[in-house]
A and B are shown apart, each in its own frame.
Chain A
Amino acid sequence: MPTLLEIQQAVGRSIVEGDDALAARYVVAEGLPPEARLGIYRNNFIGTLTAALKLCYPAIHRLVGAEFFEGAAHIFIAAEPPRRADLDAYGEGFAQFLTGFPPAGALPYLAGVARLEWAVNRALHAPDVEPLDLSRLGAIAAAAHGRVAFRPHPSVSLIEADYPVDTVWRAVLAQDDDAMAAIDPGAGPVRLLVERRDTGVEVTRLDAPAWRFATALCASRPLQTAIEVAPEVDNATLLAEHLTAGRFIGFERVCGPITSGPNS
């Protein structure tokens, strides 16, 4: 008699990989072939996860249509089944998957829109964490400000895309065909800040230096480094904006030499 672990591993392979050989031997063969009974659970698995992806990626679903979306989702689900039971956290790899999915090649902005939708999903479901208490910063001597490295709020994402994916995303979700038609895919790259505010999830465009500054800060690089990678910005004003918007939840003082090289 197989152990429970052996049965469950066989059923997992039946459901995810479609390999029924072992699992079918464990099922009572009565009325309906074991493979058909296992197939009910496989269909539920694919159906539930496809629905979860559709909830997370509504703009992708509208852009490519139901048939394309479901086909892509099925391949993605088999390749990257969920590792957690809360499906709000499922589907992070979908944008990367679309990048390497040949049928998606005709829509070069697709992966960028998917990355934006994942950031929006992340902002929606991020834990509620109190923003940094600004009085704590006051205790740091001015000479040491450059050594402050912030911890970003978990709802914040910074995205860079080669296409105006925010415009595409808004037009698709609003089902605004005129706005869709007016989109110039060649309009160049966009740099976005995605976050949850009291009023809901916000997607804001930043210019290149402001985006580099915010990205360095949210990567917990020291303030001095963030200033060095974006020397042209009014860093005091931008920092004040980030702080009052509650985009940081804590900070550390970095010891040792500070470099402005790429993230290690």
Chain B
Amino acid sequence: MSARVAPITAERGSVPREAGIGLRFPHHHAILDERPRVAWLEVHTENYLGGGTPLSYLEAIRGDYPIALHGVGLSLGSAEGLDLDHLDRVRRTVERIAPALVSEHLSWSIAEGRYLADLLPLPMTEEALGIVCRHVDQTQTVLRRQILVENASSYLRWRYSTIPEWEFLAAVAHRTGCGILCDVNNIYVSACNHGWNPSIYLAALPPAAIGEIHLAGHSVRQLEGGRLLRVDDHGSRVIREVWELYAEALARFGPVPTLIEWDTNLPTLAVLIDEAARAAALLDRACQRIADADAA
């Protein structure tokens, strides 16, 4: 596979380098009726694969907001190959919505044709790297566009891993020309769960490939023996440590479209917009730094 340079920077234009929010069904009506000021919206692709009511909502708002489609079910890391019917349903939705960004995860969810309804971690091996790259290539070919691949949170590691996750993700972007969706909360969660240094993770990612950043809240479970496990449940506000890591990411990558994700214990739209405003303030500072550097 030949190396291609990710043309992300040029494509960032379609989603503004501002803070958007993840749109979930309970907020459909509020978005439709109130048209609040939100820079852009992201939805889970799998919620809009059929037709009918959900898709018609999305079509009703896509003229007013840039939309990103964020997939959770393609299973890029499945050794048994991609589900081509699923990929075709994704293609049809992508063609109909013409989203500004399309993303998926560095994970797997399907084994023996059964969907395991979670983003499972991959063993970080050369074999898995080859499989993921083949599937990213296949997806980008079918969708006829670049996708972003996101780092997922994980709660276990495999005994056979030989490649650090951050090098694995950078290699996927380098080999396939895909972009990276850098989930800063997931980096923090996995780093805490596995004893990684999140700054090393960020430093290993190629800035030119970063097309989007995710932020979310997570929960902390106390395990037997006093150990803590951080669980990526998207059910609360972003914590201080993750805001700090986000600031570090912006210093490395420059201003990048940023999204607030919230899935469990969904609050009012106003709370999501408030979280987005916090991200926007940090994004403004990153833009200002660039302007200052240009002026100097």
Binding site for B on A (CB under 8 A): 1-5, 7-9, 11-12, 15-16, 26-28, 30-32, 34, 36-38, 40-41, 44-45, 48-49, 81-89, 123-129, 155, 196, 200-201
Contact = CB atoms under 8 A, between A and B. Distances in A.
Contacts of A12: 111-112, 114, 116
Interface in B147-188: 155-160
A88 B53 contact: no
Interface stretch (B124-132, B204-212, B249-257, B273-281): B124-132
A86 B49 contact: yes
B12 interface: no
A27 B120 CA distance: 13
A128 B85 CA distance: 18
A124 B115 contact: no
B217 interface: no
Contacts of A123: 52
A125 B54 contact: yes
Contacts of B284: none
Nearest to A121: B50
A85 B72 contact: yes
B289 interface: no
Contacts of A27: 156-159
Contact of A41 (B52, B131, B155): B155
Contacts of A129: 51
B143 interface: no
A82 B115 contact: yes
Interface of B: 46-47, 49-56, 72-75, 77-80, 83, 85-86, 89, 108-118, 120, 122-123, 125, 127-128, 131, 155-160, 223, 225, 227, 229, 231
Contacts of B113: 83
A44 B117 contact: yes
A82 B74 contact: no
Given A11-B120, A83-B115, A34 B156 contact: yes
Contact of A125 (B51, B77, B85): B51
Contacts of A30: 157
A40 B115 contact: no
Given A45-B116, A87-B46, A1 B160 contact: yes
A122 to B, nearest CB: 9
A88 B73 CA distance: 12
A40 B230 CA distance: 11
A84 B83 contact: yes
A45 B117 contact: yes
A4 B131 contact: yes
Nearest to B71: A85
Given A8-B79, A26-B160, A124-B50, 16 more contacts: A4-B123, A4-B128, A9-B112, A15-B116, A27-B158, A32-B229, A34-B156, A36-B223, A40-B156, A41-B155, A44-B118, A85-B75, A86-B50, A87-B117, A88-B54, A128-B56
A8 B123 CA distance: 10
Given A27-B156, A31-B227, A85-B110, A126 B115 contact: no
B79 A86 contact: no
13 contacts: A9-B112, A12-B112, A16-B114, A26-B159, A32-B229, A44-B118, A48-B117, A84-B73, A85-B109, A85-B110, A123-B52, A196-B53, A201-B53
Nearest to A39: B155
Given A8-B80, A12-B112, A88 B47 contact: yes
Given A4-B131, A28-B158, A84-B86, A16 B116 contact: yes
A181 to B, nearest CB: 31
A44 B119 CA distance: 10
A89 B74 CA distance: 15
B73 A4 contact: no
- 7 A-B pairs closest in CB distance: A85-B73, A12-B111, A125-B50, A127-B51, A37-B156, A5-B79, A128-B51
